[in-house]
Chains A and B, each alone.
Chain A
Amino acid sequence: MMFDLIIIGAGPAGITASVYAARKKMGLLVITKNIGGQAAWSGDIENYTGYQFITGPELAGKFEEHMRKYGIELKENEQVLELKRKDEGVWVKTDKGTHEAKTAVIASGKRSRELGVPGEVEFKNRGLTYCATCDAPLFGGKDVAVIGGGNSALDATLQLIRIAKHIYLINITSALTGDAVMREKVNESKKVSILNSARVTTVLGDRMVNGIKIKREDREETLPVEGVFVEIGLIPNSEFAKELERNGLGEIKVNSYNETSIPGIFAAGDVTDVPEKQIIVAAGEGAKAALSAFRYLAQQK
């Protein structure tokens, strides 16, 4: 079946795009790994207009309800592996099959960056985690390490100060970045050892994590920790869009109409080089991308 539009991703950008496209009566398919994207695992949200306070899962739930109201065809738990221009349209290959459409909106967002060191995969969810908000409370009275030096690492450290026994903050640069207010709090805490210019080389353990190896000024040392919180930022889910122009961070380049370097393919939200990664920005960008796709189709006729 040839759709008018395939939307890849169902976070704030993809869902908003789907609502706009549905209201334009476009023949529509949404393909996504999950619903809600990063918004679903945000904590408290206090800057999405109309909601003075709402949690990430609740807002994601509202988004999902809104999308489902339109009876949009949705492929959930399906991952896009390749997207390319074919004839006058686009061709999408996923882990479950292939789909074709006249246009596409890529709204696949970002995911946690991984360390890429031995032990990381084996000990994921066995002491190593990418979700401090979720798992920090499990490490009461234990020694842990937080990897990173930006806002999310500082945020994880501040959460852990109330819970863990001691926190090693392993920062690859020579000084912490992140907001000054959080840096001060971390610096003041006697529970935190800040190790700058240090990088993790191995995650150790048997059944569960029992340590990490780090390298500092060419010296290797082992820290006995039971928890490893990886907070080294996000990377865009743009690997499948190899034909599109991307920036140094791997973000898909778009103009103010959400057009990518290939006609008929649009992109929106955190996967793009749009400044400011915010739920409300992503939602707005999704709306723009859907309307651009609609206008593009109208001009083709």
Chain B
Amino acid sequence: MVNRKVTIYSTPSCPFCMMTKRFMKENNIDFEDIDVSTDQAKAQEMVQKSGRMAVPIVDIDGEIIVGFDKGRIRKALGL
């Protein structure tokens, strides 16, 4: 499997963020988890990248996915 760079922008209380991270773990995908509730600069970066004020935002090699969209995440990861 090709190694992809995966970043998840999340907040601690967000159920869909937890589900997204759980999905990555189940599929043995390494990811960087950024808590945008404590990091204003990263929150800005997320809004810039995605044009959205919502979490989770998943960045897979530059492809931006809004929400826990299992189908798109699978595709982007080549699962």
Interface residues of A (CB under 8 A from B): 36, 40-43, 55-58, 60-61, 76-77, 125-127, 129, 131, 133-140, 207-209, 227
B27 within 8 A of A: no
Contact sample, A vs B, 28 pairs, CB 8 Å cutoff: A36-B19, A40-B16, A41-B16, A55-B15, A57-B15, A57-B16, A61-B19, A125-B53, A125-B54, A125-B66, A125-B67, A126-B51, A126-B54, A127-B53, A129-B53, A131-B16, A131-B54, A133-B14, A134-B11, A134-B13, A134-B15, A134-B16, A134-B17, A134-B54, A138-B53, A138-B55, A140-B40, A207-B51
Check A131–B14 contact: CB distance below 8 A: yes
Q: Give residues of chain B (28-79) contacting chain A, Cβ–Cβ below 8 Å.
A: 36-37, 40, 43, 47, 51-55, 66-67, 70-71
Given A125-B53, A208-B53, residue A138 in contact with residue B13 (CB < 8 A)? no
CA distance A61 to B19 in the complex (A): 8
B22 within 8 A of A: yes
Interface residues of B, count at CB 8 A:
24
Q: Knowing that A56-B15, A136-B13, A138-B37 are A-B contacts, what are 18 other residue pairs whose CB atoms are under 8 Å apart, sorted by A's residue number?
A: A42-B15, A57-B18, A57-B19, A57-B22, A58-B18, A60-B19, A61-B19, A77-B70, A125-B66, A125-B67, A126-B51, A131-B14, A131-B16, A134-B13, A136-B11, A140-B37, A208-B47, A227-B53
Check B15–A138 contact: CB distance below 8 A: no
CA distance A136 to B43 in the complex (A): 12
Q: Using Cβ atoms and an 8 Å threshold, which residues of chain A touch B43?
A: 138
Q: Using Cβ atoms and an 8 Å threshold, which residues of chain B touch A61?
A: 19, 22
A-B interface, 7 closest residue pairs, ranked by CB to CB distance from nearest? A137-B37, A134-B14, A125-B54, A57-B18, A41-B15, A137-B11, A125-B52
CA distance A60 to B40 in the complex (A): 31
